[in-house]
Amino acid sequence: MSLTKEQIKTEQDRLDANFMKHAYQLAQQAESHNEIPVGAVVVADGKVIGEGFNQSIMLNDPSAHAEVIAVRQAGKYLQNYRLLDCTLYVTLEPCPMCAGLLVHGRIKRLVYATNDRKTGAAGSLLDLVNHQGLNHQVEVNKGVMVAECSALLSAFFKRRRAERKTEKKQREI
């Protein structure tokens, strides 16, 4: 018996939630290193083949975003510079650098949790993943686990603002 359209969608939603949970756990790892909590996984044939969390500060590397680390690992795994039929899950909408990477890598689907109104390049600030002038477009599903992932980000920024305030006060004394 083949699945109905509705059943396929439900199954896809279940898988998306499952892999986003994995990305969320990676985001928590970033936070434990005092990095902006963003995590990403690349999935092919229902299997995680690359994962990463934001490490820009600790590596002194502005390109060490979660997506870049996950995509590099996936390319090595596949022994291919193109990630055809792969899905990238990330807890925050990709920035222009990462969105460009998804297009270069020919990623098939992008699933993300939280919109990034300031620098998001999957529709918020600009739309690089679905730019008709580019030679590849990425399917997008957004809003998966949005409550948890955005709470993690806002708690992080709130804590950092408070720490900065305390540091400033200490300097004034």
Binding site for Zn ion (CB under 5 A): 65, 95, 97-98
Report the nearest approach of Zn ion to the CB of residue 168 (Å).
29
**Annotated catalytic residue 67:** yes
Nearest CB to Zn ion, comparing residues 30 and 98: 98
Query: Out of 31, 35, 51, 67, which one is annotated catalytic?
Result: 67
Looking at the Cβ atoms of 60 and 170, the one nearer to Zn ion is: 60
Region at 79 (left for phi over 0; alpha for psi -120 to 50; beta for the rest): left
DSSP state of 108: S
Q: How far apart are CA 101 and CA 96, in angstroms?
A: 9
Complex with Zn ion: residue 57 or 97, whichever CB lies closer? 97
Give Cβ neighbours of residue 128 (< 8 Å, ≥ 6 apart).
Answer: 96, 99, 100, 103, 121, 122, 134
At its nearest, how many Å lie between Zn ion and the CB of residue 120? 10
Could you list the active site residues? Answer: 67
